[in-house]
Structures are given as C-alpha cells and as structure tokens.
Chains A and B, each alone.
Chain A
Amino acid sequence: MSTAELVLVIGSLLAATLAFIFVAFRLGKTGRSTMPADVAGAADADVEHIFNDEFREELRNRGRLQFEKIISENAMFFQQDLRLTSSQLNEYLKTEVGKKLEAEFSSYEQSIADAKDMATQAIAQTQTAIEQQRKEMSDQLAKELTEEKARIIKRFEENMGEIVNHYILTAIGDVIDLNDQMPYVLSEMEANKESMMKDINNAG
C-alpha cells in the first residue's frame, strides 16, 4: 500500500470517528432540548443503561484494537512499500551508476585511444621529418664535399705550375746554369724574332 492510500485510510477513519462523535453529541443535545424533563430523564436513563461504562469501554477497546490493527496493517504496508521502494531505488542507483561508470570508462578508453593515435601520428610525422632532414643533410654534405673536392682540385691545378716550377728549381736549380738554358732562351727569341724586329725598327 502506498503512502497516499495510507493517508486516505487514516483520514477516513478520523472522519468516521468525528462523525460518530458529532452524531452522539447532537443526539444528546436534541434529546435534552425538545423532550420534557421526565421523558428526557427516562431517555437519559435508558441511554445510560445501554451505553454504560462497560459498553463504552468495549467500544473504546474495539475502536482501539481496530485502530491499532489498521495502524499495524498500514504500517506493515508502509514498511513493505518502503522496502520495495528502497530496493527499487538501490537497483535504480546501481543501474544508473553502472551505466554512468561504463559511459565514463568508455569515454576514457576512447580518449586514451585517441591520445595514442595522436602520439603515434606525431611520432610518425617526426620520424618522417627527421628522415627528410637527414636526407637533405646527407645531400647537402655530399654536395659540399663535391664542391670542396672540386675547389681543392682547382686550387691544385691553379698552383700546379708554381708547384712544378718550384720543385724543378729546387731539385735541379743548382745543377742547370744559364749556359745550359741558352738553347731554350735562344729558341724562344728565335720564335719571337719577327715581333722583336718589328718593335725595334718601329721605334727607330
């Protein structure tokens, strides 16, 4: 039995009691007001005879017992209803909390998975960037090595004459004197004879 029903039962019981009391009061008052004194006195004596203390006590006891019974029944109904409500509430709470926890755990798991994916992607991107940089640096280094090699070779070639001349002069400079160089000098002058003659004659 629900609380509303319990309230209804108690309310109806109280209403019945009040009605009973009211009727009793009205009957008592009406008898005293309209009947003559001896009839009224006889009626009172009959009422007193019928509704004596024992009867009234019996009624009271019966009313009390009925009231206690009703109260007990309603209390029992209320207790059952309360227990049922408590158990239903517990079940509801368990269900709702379980759902909530499951949803939160799912969300957390999804967040973890997303973070893992993002980390994996970031690592992959970083690896790609590193690889690309490594390749660029490798290409740059190879290019610079090639350029440096070319520069060294060019510098060597540019200085080759100086190096060979210096080597020859150092190696045989004190062996070959001017007299040995004369055929070379004369051959060079012979090769430029026309130019020299022209210059001398034009100046003269």
Chain B
Amino acid sequence: MPAKAWVLPDGVATIGDVGRMQRELAEVDNFLGQANVRQPGAPTVLPKTSQIFTELVASNTLNLLVQKDRDELASFLQALRMNAPVVHMSFSSEPSPLFGQKMVTWIRKNLHLYGLLQIGLVPGMGMGAMVRTTNKIYNFGLKDRFIQKKPLLMEAIRGSGSETSQGTVVEEPVAG
C-alpha cells in the first residue's frame, strides 16, 4: 500500500466504488487534458463527479488541477484496487446502503485501514451473515448458532420435562 497516509472515505466501500472513482478521475483528467488544447470560445462539457469522489479529493487535500495530484490519486486508486483486502459478507437479503457503510466503518476501524467490502446473497441462509476473509470463512448465521447452542435447548427441554413429570403445576395466564 502507498506510503502516504491516504484517507479513504467510507463511501468508497467496494471494488466497484474504487473502479467508479478511477473512471471519474479519468474523465477529469481527460477533460483537463482537452482543456489545454481547446480553442478559446469552444463549448465545453464539464465532467460530472459524484459526491463520494469530491469527498475523496477533499479528505486527501488534493488539487485536481495539478497533474501530480491526479497521478498520485490514480496510483492510489490502482494500488487500492489491486492490493486492498476484501471482506466478503453474504446475507439472505440485500442490505441497505447504511448497513454496508457501517460494516465498512467497522472493517476499516478494526481490521484494515483500506479494507473493502463485497456483499453477496445466500437466500436460504436465514438470519445472520457469512463472512469470508482472504483464507477463512466465518459462519455467523443464526442456523449455525442454533446448532452450536443446541445442547442448551436440549437441557432446557429435558429440565422442563422432568419438572412436569414430577407433578409441577404449570400456571396458565388468565385471559383478560
């Protein structure tokens, strides 16, 4: 990863976001390159950049008018795309953007400064999530947790069964 302490906003969460930042940077670079050779008075079309790109540039105090800054940003984004660790998280349904952003925040706070998130879908998984890092898989699904905690359930069932068999009165709530 680059020596400079780059700031990666949480909005740049996935590999796709990195790619989009690279495209937007390339459009800006292309525009500025064309502006140098533009005839005075000729119409121009300003490139549209996203808020995340603006935040990325602002948080790293870059001046996109300076070629050097644009090159450094391009190198950073390319290094990010090639080398940043990706954490894959699978859910039973599509999570909200807020959910993804909170996950990214946690990843970058606890695992890696430039960690990226990849969301996947496993419809039959049920509640919880499946997390995959570079070489390991972590099953945080509720189903797996139920299996792990099954002895507790069995103990509770057997305990309640032995109580009732000994004649314990089970009081039912009175309606109303």
Which of A's residues lie within 8 Å of B, judged by CB? 157, 160-162, 164-165, 168-169, 173, 176-179, 181-182, 184-186, 188-190, 192-193, 195-197, 199-204
Q: How far is A139 from B91 in the complex, measured between Cα atoms in Å?
A: 52
Q: How far is A186 from B103 in the complex, measured between Cα atoms in Å?
A: 8
Asked if B150 and A199 sit within 8 Å, CB to CB, the answer is: no
Decide yes or no whether B45 CB sits under 8 A from chain A: no
Decide yes or no whether B31 CB sits under 8 A from chain A: no
CB < 8 Å: which of A160, A177, A196, A203 contacts B153? A160
Answer whether A179 and B98 are a contact pair too, CB < 8 Å, given A157-B154, A188-B138, A189-B131.
yes
> How close is B21's CB to chain A, nearest CB, in angstroms?
21
Residues 71-111 of chain B, each 1 if its beta carbon lies under 8 Å from chain A, else 0: 00000000000010101000101011011001100100011
Asked if A185 and B140 sit within 8 Å, CB to CB, the answer is: yes
Asked if B85 and A178 sit within 8 Å, CB to CB, the answer is: no
**Using Cβ atoms and an 8 Å threshold, which residues of chain A touch B106?**
186, 189
Interface class of chain A by DSSP: helix
Q: How far is A17 from B133 in the complex, measured between Cα atoms in Å?
A: 161
Residues 44-58 of chain B, each 1 if its beta carbon lies under 8 Å from chain A, else 0: 000000000000000
Answer whether A179 and B99 are a contact pair too, CB < 8 Å, given A186-B106, A197-B111.
yes
Decide yes or no whether B33 CB sits under 8 A from chain A: no
Q: How far is A70 from B103 in the complex, measured between Cα atoms in Å?
A: 160
Decide yes or no whether B162 CB sits under 8 A from chain A: no
> How close is B12's CB to chain A, nearest CB, in angstroms?
18
> How close is A192's CB to chain B, nearest CB, in angstroms?
5
Asked if A161 and B96 sit within 8 Å, CB to CB, the answer is: no
Answer whether A181 and B128 are a contact pair too, CB < 8 Å, given A186-B106, A203-B135.
yes
**Using Cβ atoms and an 8 Å threshold, which residues of chain B touch A188?**
128-129, 138, 140
Asked if B153 and A164 sit within 8 Å, CB to CB, the answer is: yes
Decide yes or no whether B36 CB sits under 8 A from chain A: no
19 contacts between A and B (CB under 8 A): A160-B146, A161-B143, A161-B150, A169-B127, A178-B91, A178-B93, A185-B103, A188-B128, A190-B110, A192-B138, A196-B87, A196-B111, A196-B136, A197-B110, A199-B133, A200-B85, A200-B87, A200-B133, A203-B133
